[in-house]
Chains A and B, each alone.
Chain A
Amino acid sequence: MLTLTCPYCGVAACETELSPGGEAHLKRFGPGSSDDDFEAYLFLRPNVKGVHFERWRHAMGCGKWFLAARDTATLEVFGTYSAQTTEPPPGIVEAIRAKRPDWSPT
Chain B
Amino acid sequence: MSTRLSEGGRLIDRSRKIAFRFDGKRLTGHPGDTLASALMANGQRIVGRSFKYHRPRGVVASGAEEPNALVNLGEGGRHEPNQRATTTELFEGLAATSQNRWPSLDFDIGEVNALIPRFLPAGFYYKTFIHPRPFWKHVFEPFIRHSAGLGRAPDPRTTDPDRYEHFYVHTDLVIAGGGIAGLQAALEAGRAGAKVLLCEQTAHWGGRAPVDGVEIDGAPAEAWIAAALAELEGMENVHLRLRTMVAGVYDHGYVIAYERVADHVAAPDAPRHRLWRIRAAQVVSATGAFERPLSFPGNDKPGVMLASAMRDYLVNWGVSPGDRTVVVTNNDDAYRTAIAIRKAGLDVPCIVDARDTADGPLPQEARALGIPVKTGMAIANVKGLRGVVAVQLCRQAGEGAVIEDVICEAVAMSGGWSPVVHLWSHCGGKLAWDAGGAFFRPDHEKPPTSHDGEGFVVCAGAADGALHASEVLGNAGAATGRALARLGLSAPGRVATASAPDEAALSPVWMMPQGAGPKKRAKMWLDFQNDVKVSDVQLAAREGYESVEHTKRYTTLGMATDQGKLSNINGLAVLADALGAPIPQVGTTTFRPPFTPISMGAIAGEARGAVFQPIRRTPIQDWHERNGAAWEPVGHWRRPYCFPRDGETKRDAVNREILATRTSVGLLDASTLGKILVKGADAGRFMDMLYTNMMSTLKPGRCRYGLMCSENGFLMDDGVVARLDDETFLVHTTTGGADRIHAHMEDWLQCEWWDWKVYTANVTEQWAQVAVVGPNARKVLEKLGGDIDLSKEALPFMAWAEGRIGGFDARVFRISFSGELSFEVAVPASQGRAFWDALLDAGAEFGITPYGTEALHVMRAEKGFIMIGDETDGTVIPQDLGLDWAISKKKDDYLGKRAQERAHMTDPARWKLVGLETLDGSVLPDGAYAIAEGVNDNAQRNTQGRVTSTYWSPTLEKGIAMGLVLNGPDRMGEVLEFNTTRKAARGEDAPTVKARIVSPVFYDAQGEKQDV
**A interface, CB within 8 angstroms of B:** 1-3, 14, 19, 21, 28-33, 35, 38, 42, 55, 57, 59, 63-65, 71, 74-77, 83-84, 99
Contact = CB atoms under 8 A, between A and B. Distances in A.
A65 to B, nearest CB: 4
B743 A59 contact: yes
Interface string B245-273: 00000111110000000000000000000
A1 B902 CA distance: 38
Nearest to A39: B902
A55 B250 contact: no
Interface of B: 250-254, 279, 449-453, 711-712, 743, 746-747, 750-752, 754, 892-893, 897-899, 901-903
B247 to A, nearest CB: 14
Nearest to A70: B451
A55 B901 CA distance: 27
B279 A99 contact: no
A76 B453 contact: yes
Contacts of A99: 453
A2 B901 CA distance: 39
A76 B451 contact: yes
Contacts of B897: 30-31
Contacts of B252: 1-3, 75
Contacts of B453: 71, 74, 76, 99
B754 A63 contact: no
A99 B451 CA distance: 12
Highest count of chain B CB atoms <10 Å: which of A14, A29, A65: A65
Contacts of A59: 743
Contacts of A55: 751
A3 B902 contact: no
Shortest 8 CB-CB contacts between residues of A and residues of B: A76-B453, A1-B254, A84-B754, A65-B750, A77-B451, A83-B751, A3-B252, A31-B898
Nearest to A28: B752
Contacts of B892: 31
Given A1-B252, A2-B451, A38-B902, 8 more contacts: A1-B254, A28-B752, A31-B893, A31-B897, A42-B899, A76-B450, A76-B451, A83-B750
Nearest to B453: A76
Given A1-B250, A83-B751, A65 B746 contact: yes
Contacts of B279: 3, 14
A83 B754 contact: yes
12 contacts: A2-B251, A2-B252, A3-B253, A57-B743, A65-B746, A65-B750, A75-B450, A76-B449, A76-B452, A76-B453, A83-B751, A84-B751
A35 B902 CA distance: 7
Contact of A84 (B750, B899, B903): B750
Nearest to A77: B451
Contacts of A14: 254, 279
Contacts of A28: 752
A14 B280 CA distance: 13
A83 B749 CA distance: 10
A85 B452 CA distance: 24
Given A57-B747, A65-B746, A65-B750, A30 B451 contact: no
A83 B752 CA distance: 9
A52 B316 CA distance: 54
Contacts of A83: 750-751, 754
A30 B893 contact: yes
A6 B452 CA distance: 16
A65 B747 contact: yes
Contact of A31 (B250, B253, B450, B901): B901
A96 to B, nearest CB: 11
A28 to B, nearest CB: 6
A104 B711 CA distance: 30
Contacts of B899: 38, 42
B750 A42 contact: no
Contact of A74 (B449, B743, B893, B902): B449
A55 B452 CA distance: 19
B893 A65 contact: no
Contacts of A76: 449-453
A76 to B, nearest CB: 4
A59 B750 CA distance: 13
Contacts of A57: 743, 746-747
B512 to A, nearest CB: 42
A64 B750 contact: yes
Contacts of A84: 750-751, 754
A21 B747 contact: yes
A63 B747 CA distance: 10
Contact of B898 (A2, A33, A74, A75): A33
B747 A42 contact: no
A62 to B, nearest CB: 11
A1 B427 CA distance: 11
B451 A3 contact: yes
Contact of B751 (A1, A38, A65): A65
Contacts of B251: 1-2, 75
B451 A42 contact: no
A84 B897 CA distance: 24
A63 to B, nearest CB: 7
Contacts of B449: 74-76
A84 B903 CA distance: 33
A84 to B, nearest CB: 4
Nearest to B255: A1
A42 B743 CA distance: 19
Contacts of B712: 42
Nearest to A19: B743
A3 B254 CA distance: 9
A74 B449 CA distance: 7
Contacts of A33: 898
A64 B749 CA distance: 10
A52 B898 CA distance: 27
Contacts of B903: 35
A102 to B, nearest CB: 15
A2 to B, nearest CB: 5
A77 B451 CA distance: 5
B486 to A, nearest CB: 14
A42 B752 CA distance: 14
A21 B746 CA distance: 12
Nearest to B449: A74
Contacts of A2: 251-252, 451
A19 B743 CA distance: 11
Highest count of chain A CB atoms <10 Å: which of B746, B897, B898: B898
Contacts of A75: 251-252, 449-451
Contacts of A32: 898
A100 to B, nearest CB: 9
Highest count of chain B CB atoms <10 Å: which of A3, A19, A35, A59: A3
A74 to B, nearest CB: 5
A1 B248 CA distance: 12
A36 to B, nearest CB: 12
B711 A63 contact: no
A42 B709 CA distance: 14
Contacts of B747: 21, 57, 65
A2 B747 CA distance: 21
Contacts of A31: 892-893, 897-898, 901
A59 B747 CA distance: 11
Contact of A29 (B450, B743, B751, B898): B898
A64 B820 CA distance: 42
Nearest to A65: B750
Contacts of A77: 451-452
A29 B453 CA distance: 36
Nearest to A71: B453
A33 B751 CA distance: 20
A85 to B, nearest CB: 9
Nearest to B892: A31
A38 B898 CA distance: 8
A31 B254 CA distance: 45
A2 B253 CA distance: 9
A66 to B, nearest CB: 9
Contacts of B452: 76-77
